[in-house]
Structure 1
Amino acid sequence: MDNIITTVILINSVLAILTVFREPRDIAATWAWILLLMFIPVGGFILYSFAGRKLPQRRLFAYQDQDASEMDGLIQQLVGKGPGPSVEKRADALPRSARSLVTLFQRINQTPLATNNNVSVYTSGQRFFDELKETLRNAKETINIEFYTFYADELGCEIRDILVEKAKEGVDVHVLYDSLGSVGTTGRFFKPLREAGGHASSFLHRRFNLINFQLNFRDHRKIVVVDGRIGFVGGFNIGDQYLGRKKKFGHWRDTHLKVSGSAVYYLQSHFLLDWNASAVKEPMNVTRRLYFPDLDERLQGDTDMQIVTSGPDSDDEQIKMGYIRLIQLAKKRCWIQTPYLIPDDSTIDALRIAANSGVDVRIMVPCMPDHMFVYRATQYFASQLVKDGIKVYYYQNGFLHAKTMVVDDQLASVGSANFDFRSFKLNFEVNAFLYDQKVTETLAERYEHDIQQSVLQSEESFQKQSRWMTFRQYASRLLAPIL
Structure 2
Amino acid sequence: MIDWNYILSQIATVAFDILYFGAIIGTIVIIILDNRNPVKTMAWILILLFLPIVGLVFYFFFGRSQRRERIIGQKSYDRLLKKPMAEYLAQDCSEVQYEYSRLIQLFQHTNQAFPFEGNRVAVYTEGYTKLQSLLRELQKAKQHIHMEYYIFEDDAIGRLVRDVLIEKASQGVEVRVIYDDVGCWHVPNRFFEEMRNAGIEVRSFLKVRFPLFTSKVNYRNHRKIVVIDGCVGFVGGMNLAERYMRGFSWGIWRDTHIMLKGKAVHGLQTAFLLDWYFVDRTLITASRYFPKIDSCGSSLVQIVTSEPIGPWKEIMQGLTVAITNAKKYFYMQTPYFLPTEQILAAMQTAALSGVDIRLMLPERADNRITHLGSRSYLADVMQAGVKVYFYKKGFLHSKLMVSDDLLSTVGSTNVDFRSFEHNFEVNAFIYDVNTALEMKEIFLQDQRESTQIFLKNWVKRSWRQKAAESIIRLLAPLL
Q: Same fold (TM over 0.5)?
A: yes
Query: How do 1:86-105 residues align onto structure 2 when only pairs under 5 Å count?
Result: 86-87=91-92, 89-90=93-94, 93-94=95-96, 96-105=98-107
Q: Distance in 2 between matches of 1:463 and 1:165?
A: 57
Paired residues in the alignment total 464
Measured after TM superposition, the shift of residue 251 of structure 1 is 0.7
1:46 lines up with 2:57 in the alignment: yes
Task: Give the direction of change, closer, same or farther, for the CA distance of 1:374–1:354 in structure 2 (3 Å limit).
Answer: same
Partner of 1:68: 77
Partner of 2:200: 198
Measured after TM superposition, the shift of residue 400 of structure 1 is 0.6
Measured after TM superposition, the shift of residue 231 of structure 1 is 0.3
CA deviation map 1:30-68 (0-9, x unaligned): 11111122222222211111111111644x53x332332
1:287 lines up with 2:285 in the alignment: yes
Answer with 209-218 or 122-131: which moved more.
209-218
Partner of 1:367: 363
- The correspondence for 2:39, drawn from 10, 17, 28, is 28
Q: Is the 8 A contact 1:37 1:45 kept in 2?
A: yes
Task: Give the direction of change, closer, same or farther, for the CA distance of 1:18–1:113 in structure 2 (3 Å limit).
Answer: same
Measured after TM superposition, the shift of residue 15 of structure 1 is 4.6
Measured after TM superposition, the shift of residue 407 of structure 1 is 0.8
Q: Distance in 1 between matches of 2:309 and 2:429?
A: 21
Measured after TM superposition, the shift of residue 364 of structure 1 is 0.2
Q: Is the 8 A contact 1:144 1:225 kept in 2?
A: yes
TM-score (normalizing by structure 1): 0.91
- The correspondence for 1:396, drawn from 392, 396, 400, is 392
**Superposed CA RMSD:** 2.2
Query: How do 1:167-182 residues align onto structure 2 when only pairs under 5 Å count?
Result: 167-182=169-184
Answer with 219-228 or 176-185: which moved more.
176-185
Aligned partner letter, 1:71: L
Q: Distance in 1 between matches of 2:431 and 2:245?
A: 29
Aligned partner letter, 2:347: L
Query: How do 1:57-456 residues align onto structure 2 when only pairs under 5 Å count?
Result: 57-58=68-69, 60-61=70-71, 63-79=72-88, 86-87=91-92, 89-90=93-94, 93-94=95-96, 96-205=98-207, 210-247=212-249, 250-280=251-281, 283=282, 285-297=283-295, 300-456=296-452
Which stretches in structure 1 are left out of the alignment for 5+ residues?
none
Measured after TM superposition, the shift of residue 379 of structure 1 is 0.2
Measured after TM superposition, the shift of residue 296 of structure 1 is 4.3
Aligned partner letter, 2:44: W
Q: Is the 8 A contact 1:304 1:434 kept in 2?
A: yes
Answer with 14-23 or 217-226: which moved more.
14-23
Aligned partner letter, 1:268: Q
Q: Is the 8 A contact 2:389 2:451 kept in 1?
A: yes
Which stretches in structure 2 are left out of the alignment for 5+ residues?
1-12
Measured after TM superposition, the shift of residue 17 of structure 1 is 2.1
- The correspondence for 2:29, drawn from 18, 27, 30, is 18
Q: Distance in 2 between matches of 1:461 and 1:223?
A: 41
Q: Distance in 2 between matches of 1:276 and 1:204?
A: 12
Q: Is the 8 A contact 1:396 1:453 kept in 2?
A: yes
Q: Is the 8 A contact 1:128 1:256 kept in 2?
A: yes
Task: Give the direction of change, closer, same or farther, for the CA distance of 1:79–1:317 in structure 2 (3 Å limit).
Answer: closer
Aligned partner letter, 2:145: I
Measured after TM superposition, the shift of residue 78 of structure 1 is 4.0
Aligned partner letter, 1:65: Q
Task: Give the direction of change, closer, same or farther, for the CA distance of 1:95–1:139 in structure 2 (3 Å limit).
Answer: closer
Q: Distance in 2 between matches of 1:14 and 1:41?
A: 10
Aligned partner letter, 1:64: G
Task: Give the direction of change, closer, same or farther, for the CA distance of 1:10–1:172 in structure 2 (3 Å limit).
Answer: closer
Q: Is the 8 A contact 1:310 1:428 kept in 2?
A: yes
CA deviation map 1:343-374 (0-9, x unaligned): 11111111111111111100001111222221
CA deviation map 1:365-408 (0-9, x unaligned): 11112222211110011122111111010111111111111110
Q: Is the 8 A contact 2:326 2:404 kept in 1?
A: yes
Measured after TM superposition, the shift of residue 151 of structure 1 is 1.3
